[in-house]
Amino acid sequence: MIFVPATEPINWVWVHCVSPMCGHRRAVPLAPWRIRWGMENPSKLMRKHFRCGACGRKGCEFGAPRRGDGKNGAVIGDNEPYPHGRELRIGCERRWPETYPDAAERVRMEYFARYICGDAIKMVGGMCNLYSYTKGPAAIRELLKILRQYDLTGNMEPLTGIYPNRMAPIVRLGPEGQLQLEMARWGMPAPQIPNRKPRNPYLTNIRNTDSRYWQRWLKDPAHRCLVPFSSFSEPDNRGLEEPGNPNPRSIWTWFAFDETRPLAFFPGIWHEYEADRGTKAQPNVGRHLVYAFLTSDASVDVAPIHPDATPVILFNEIEREQWMSAPWEIARDLQKPPPAGALRIVARDTKQDA
């Protein structure tokens, strides 16, 4: 079958690893990235931020869907359809006495064992920026045995939707070494690069804990904190990829331990600095207490909805104590996905979880 290049806008592309020794590629729908970055052609940012999930090489190249010329049953002018169920293409070497199909299947299984999200080329990113806390300060004080005088949250209302740059409770060590509950602003400052404006001014998630930018806070237990939550949300983008869907959109999906949404904690870090955390219309210049928390690979429960990442969760008192006081060489072991069955979907199609 012979194809000619497409001359009209396309809805998906083949994304290739830039390493000539890798040979991995994946079909990627463009709609989620157009929505995420707010541009018709997101290729520049895809090249900048995509990373091969197999070899780790950063960057990517593109191949447009082929276009039929009328031969061998191909309809003239029709783009190659999205290869549902065949998105992932992985290069491999045959091991004697394997057949080539056997070798391809072996490499696919080895890959899926390493990357639960199943993307040969994926964007290494954090969870989506939305969670809730609705249990009130008394639940935190009771569980962590925090004295009332060290609760600085005041009359805190239920927070059914916490977004970046909003205020939410954290637990950190106070000046006397005691646990202290107070309000902080979600989103650490981005690294300052000369003559370059950061793409995202607020860093809400910490995935690459080897980064020197994060190490200065991660290695100091005094700068670690506990971030209470009752549920968190991820967008279900599967409808954006369905062929013939007349109304493609993301569906916000909320996860918690169960329907009662019990109190739980993300491991985080905090920082205090002078900045303007407002808008042009309403500046907010002053000293701000800010925080971010850790993410990891997508868990078994979250991956079908959001294959990029899942927040790290502390499940018991031992893990909370380890995060707040252990040396980084020990505390870093907590950065792992929640085990299978730990999370369940408790709400859908809403941006607030009450």
**Could you tell me which residues are beta bridge partners of residue 307?**
none
Residue 4's pLDDT is 37
Alpha-carbon gap, residue 330 to 327, rounded angstroms: 6
SS (H, E, C) 188-225: EECCCECCECCCCCEECEECCCCCHHHHHHHCCHHHEE
pLDDT at 51: 74
What does DSSP assign to residue 126? -
Average pLDDT of the residues in 148-171: 93
Selected residue with higher pLDDT from 111 and 218: 218
Q: Is 106 helix (H, G, I), strand (E, B) or coil?
A: helix
Structure tokens at 337: 């996905």
pLDDT at 246 (0 to 100): 60
**In this predicted model, which residue has the larger pLDDT, 110 or 95?**
95
Angle at 168 between CA 309 and CA 126, to 5 degrees: 15
Of 85-99, 124-138, 202-216, 302-316, the range with the lowest mean pLDDT is 85-99
| Residue at 143: amino acid letter | L
Give pLDDT, residue 111: 62
The CATH number of 131-348 is 3.90.1680.10
Tell me the average pLDDT of the chain. 82
- The answer, yes or no, to whether residue 192 has pLDDT greater than 90, is no
Q: What is the pLDDT of residue 53?
A: 65
For the chain, the domains span 3-123, 131-348
Q: How crowded is residue 215: how many other Cβ atoms within 10 Å of its Cβ?
A: 12
CA dist., res. 276 & res. 34, Å (int): 29
d(CA 16, CA 248): 26
> Which pLDDT score, from 0 to 100, does residue 87 have?
74
How sure is the predictor about 57, in pLDDT bands with cuts at 50, 70 and 90? confident
Does 117 have pLDDT greater than 50?
A: no
